Structure 1
């Protein structure tokens, strides 16, 4: 059944594209007895790169069906059956698997949110996973991070598990659904992903309706302050927060360093020229008093007085909890909306 996540829903408010098998090309499993019936399939293929293609004339060969998903390295990942023991080598991947009802069999150390996943066996840190620990949990699917694990491809594949790579810098139709749809394709969880898409669509509509009356059109999320200013580019959780609230992120894509981190070096002159309506600060500390001090450090700093958002007092601080692995993407979005709207 087709979900409401259709091709017409692209953009910041739409949950992306969700055909009956997202990113998937159905193939018959080879090496089994051939049934004397040839089926001509016309399958709509929506790859993780966001392309919609039509694959036709695939003959049936009998036996069970497997399927292929194209990952962010352009690799064809073949799945014989829905995996039962999944590993996501990123704290955010873990939350996105949870959104479609998949509990991984291990966790990266940076993850710190849901108690049932905090209790999972440790697989080491995101940038240096423990290979022996991964072997010990006997995964049948490993989802790795292009930034941190692409050089480990052969080692990961040698474990006997299916390996797929995800690029955190990938710009698709909608941050809140793109990877969830890809993970649903990898695990055969389309129905769960369809329900998630419907839910997140209503959340996006709700928060945008709250923010729209404030009249903010352009914004930026930063960290640092004086010695080194970094801004959230239009990828990843931080880069998606403002556009998902209907506020344009003034930071352009593909800046130097964008392939290594969500936050990139950005100078005060560029921010002043971009003229954002609001300035949102990522906090590294906790406690209301610390947040107030951080806001004051921007408001009182002569360096920032050329920025209209600072002069007009439209400066907001996100609490430390808004951090991938500490909460779901939906929670991050709702907290950001609360901070900006003053609720």
Structure 2
């Protein structure tokens, strides 16, 4: 055999070997990759389905309102309408700006400038519809008769009964609204801060010996007293003053102010009496004080004898002032020596 022929055989052998190795390697690699890819794709798809199911469950919550209605709230509502001035202020305390106001609201400038849905006692249904809310917070005292109309807006409607108090009228609804809106942490921060402020103010009041107290509605023709379940009763409690008025009196379901028997006030003999000033240009603070101090029927009360009767400014009114400022103004009013 010639050298040329031998060389050709060698080259052909080497080329064949190279092709065999290359083909073997090529056939093996795609098989391994396809198997891994199928496993990864299947696992990822399953994980994604599970994550989607978890997210869906977390974003839909069923809550029971104070009319014992089951209310479904999806996600964290962003277009909230509250139908009382007090509820509007409490939303602001949580860092939530509602999309509307009622005409009675008169505290924060950004709230006063909101679109109006008319008065809280008779809200404008068409105005509510036009704002397309994703949550409506209503008052069971004032709005239960328009429940169906509110529901027709398409938004979940949560009714709050202001008479229901678990611990504190100033913080119970803050906590409740925090749960409805996914703002639990903000609510807890607010409550902690208000507790700190209250404790400091309570120390200021402690030196005046006000163990028991009474909050009376401004005016001289009838006696109306503040229930423990409202803002005014809560102010007394937060300042370490026991309200002599019991809860759940007749008429309490309609208002936090109820008529009360003077003879019972006389027998309880509170250490301090706080008179809520009449708003809208009514009786002046001096006239109110003069009435109680000069009227013979009040002269046997310790608070009158010791000049411990004070007038609370009219701006201390739910929705016209924050809870913190209401506490501070009250303390300023009843601690004249500070």
TM tier relative to shorter chain: 0.7 to 0.9
Tell me how far 1:74 sits from its aligned partner: 2.1
Segments of structure 2 that go 5 or more residues without pairing to the other structure are 1-44
Structure 1 runs not aligned, ≥5 long: 1-32, 39-59
Which whole-Å CA distance do the structure 2 matches of 1:209 and 1:253 have between them? 26
* Contact kept? 2:218, 2:288, Cα under 8 Å: no
Q: Is the Cα–Cα contact under 8 Å of residues 34 and 61 in structure 1 kept in the other structure?
A: no
Per residue, is there more helix in 1 or in 2?
A: 2
Return 60-69 or 289-298, whichever deviates more.
Answer: 60-69
Alpha-carbon distance in 2 for matches of 1:249, 1:122? 36
Hey, what's the Cα distance between the residues in 2 that align with 1:34 and 1:167? 45
The superposition leaves residues 232-278 of structure 1 with CA deviations (integer Å, 9 ceiling, x where unpaired) of 01111011111110000000111111000010001211110111001
The structure number with the bigger radius of gyration is 2
Cα distance between partner residues in 1 of 2:109 and 2:262: 41
Residue matched to 1:129 = 123
Aligned to 1:150, the other structure's residue is in SS state helix
Contact kept in structure 2, 1:87 and 1:104, CA below 8 Å: yes
SS at match of 1:165: strand
Partner of 1:187: 181
Equivalent runs, 1:56-205 vs 2, <5 Å: 62-64=54-56, 65=58, 66-205=60-199
Under a length normalisation based on structure 1, what TM-score does the superposition of the two structures give? 0.80
1:117-170 CA distances to partner (integer Å, 9 max, x unpaired)? 100011010110000111111110000001001121111111100110111111
Cα root mean square deviation, aligned: 2.2
Alignment partners' CA distance in 2, 1:284 and 1:228? 13
2:310 equivalent in structure 1: 316
- Aligned equivalents of 1:290 and 1:63: distance in 2? 58
Partner of 2:243: 249
Report how far residue 34 of structure 1 moved: 10
Q: What is the alpha-carbon distance in structure 2 between the residues aligned to residue 159 and residue 85 of structure 1?
A: 13
Partners of 2:118 and 2:75 in 1: CA distance: 28
Structure with more relative contact order (C-alpha pairs < 8 Å, separation 6 or more): 1
Q: Which residue of 2 aligns with 1:283?
A: 277
Count of residue pairs the alignment pairs up: 290
- Which structure has the highest strand share of the two? 1
TM-score (norm 2): 0.81
278 and 34 in structure 1: CA distance in 2 versus 1, 3 angstrom threshold? farther
* 1:224, distance to aligned residue in structure 2 (A): 4.5
CA contact (8 A) 1:111 1:326 kept: yes
Task: Name the structure 2 match of 1:329.
Answer: 323
SS of the residue 1:175 aligns to: coil
Off by >6 Å, runs of 4+ in structure 1: 33-38
Equivalent position SS for 1:173: coil
